[in-house]
Amino acid sequence: MRLFNKTRLALVAGALTASVAFAQPVSASWLEWLQNQFRYTQTNHPIVLVHGLSGFDELFGLIEYFNGVPEALTSGGAKVFIPQVSASNSTEVRGEQLLAQIEDYMAATGARKVNIIGHSHGSPTARYVAGVRPDLVASVSSVGGVNWGTPVADSAADGQLDNLGDWFFGLVDFASGNPNLPQDTNAAVASLSTEGSIAFNQEFPDGIPSRYCGNNGARQANGIRYYSWGGNAVLTNVFDPSDLLLGLTATIIDEPNDGLVPACSMKLGEVISVEYRHNHLDQVNQVLGLVARNAADPVALYRQQANRLKRAGL
């Protein structure tokens, strides 16, 4: 009887292995389902997703900034918190807003630390919190992060965008149900400029390479792990109208970039890759999942990062 059971078990295992090996291609959703059975994204500490410039948590309660990411992370066991900071303001103002919301979240849930993943301006915003309250932060992951500034902000630093920017970003926060967040486009542009970023990095150096585009940023500093990923493509999907805008801003940058940020500026701590075939909005799976064919699935990268954090005990 025992032999029979063993034989039957071996046959079932063999059939399963064969079906996995010969399923061409193994569908992403099936793989995700299987991974979720092992709590693939179940990190020790909750994950905080921080939006970038002109960002929002949800527009009109419908369109989420990190398109499809929160669901993908929670389905594998992660706890996810999505704060809302000013769409357009200095890194320090946004950082204080983020810190206050993380403290509230911790008080409500009993969490001791958080893993922060920040896109674009969300990266220095996260680094600010890690710098002033390292006891609350387990890791900072930068996605398309403006860690060494961008020539796009340098070109806008004359203040001409200020009135238009305040109106636009105020509208973004209104549509996302947060009309009271202060907007200061000049301050945002100053923070995202090369000069402003270098000054910020001197005050908050953890994870930053010793020279521009270096790969030697500290992977761990002050008890906090640092990671980064991003892309260096601009026009990735002919059906995505945002590619046209990114195509225009990309002309300001004379090195590999994602339409808004040089790939070299994205590097922080452990550089996973800044060469994905993603533009700045593809990195958050926008607009509405329109990314390049054959590019890495942007949502899968967040799942992989959560799994990386889990394996590191974070």
Residue 32 or 282 having the CB closest to Ca ion: 282
The answer to whether residue 258 forms part of the interface with Ca ion (CB under 5 A) is no
DSSP code string of 74-142: HHTT--EE-----SSS-HHHHHHHHHHHHHHHHHHH----EEEEEETTHHHHHHHHHHH-GGGEEEEEE
CA 87 – CA 93 distance, rounded (Å): 11
Has 280 been annotated as catalytic? Answer: yes
What's the min distance (Å) between Cβ of 239 and Ca ion?
9
233 binds Ca ion (CB under 5 A): no
DSSP-assigned beta bridge partners for residue 50: 118
Q: Which of 88, 90, 120, 265 is catalytic?
A: 120
* Number of residues in contact with Ca ion under rule CB under 5 A: 4
Q: Which is nearer to Ca ion, 31 or 245 (CB)?
A: 245
H or E element, residue 238: none
Nearer to Ca ion, 106 or 235 (CB): 235
Of 141 and 236, which has the nearer Cβ to Ca ion? 236
Is 139 considered catalytic here?
Answer: no
CB 84 within 8 A of CB 66: no
From candidates 125, 282, 283, 303, binder to Ca ion by CB under 5 A: 282
Closest approach of Ca ion to the CB of residue 253, in Å: 18
Whether 173 sits among the annotated catalytic residues: the reply is no
Question: Shortest Cβ distance from residue 298 to Ca ion (Å)?
Answer: 9
Q: Which is nearer to Ca ion, 290 or 299 (CB)?
A: 290
Query: How would you label 164-187 residue by residue, b for 16+ Cβ within 10 Å and e otherwise?
Result: ebbeebbebbebbebeebebbbbb
Stretch that binds Ca ion, among 12-20, 47-55, 167-175, 284-292 (CB under 5 A): 284-292
H helices present in the chain, as ranges:
2-22, 28-37, 69-75, 91-109, 122-132, 151-156, 162-175, 185-192, 194-203, 242-250, 298-311
Q: How far apart are CA 248 and CA 234, in angstroms?
A: 10
Task: Kindly state whether residue 290 participates in binding Ca ion, applying the rule CB under 5 A.
Answer: yes
Which span sits near Ca ion by CB under 5 A: 68-76, 94-102, 156-164, 274-282?
274-282
- Residue selected from 32, 166, 240, 270 as contacting Ca ion according to rule CB under 5 A: 240
Catalytic residue among 206, 243, 258, 282: 258
CB of 139 to Ca ion, least distance (A): 27
287 cis-preceded (ω within 30 degrees of 0) = yes
Query: What positions carry a catalytic annotation?
Result: 120, 258, 280
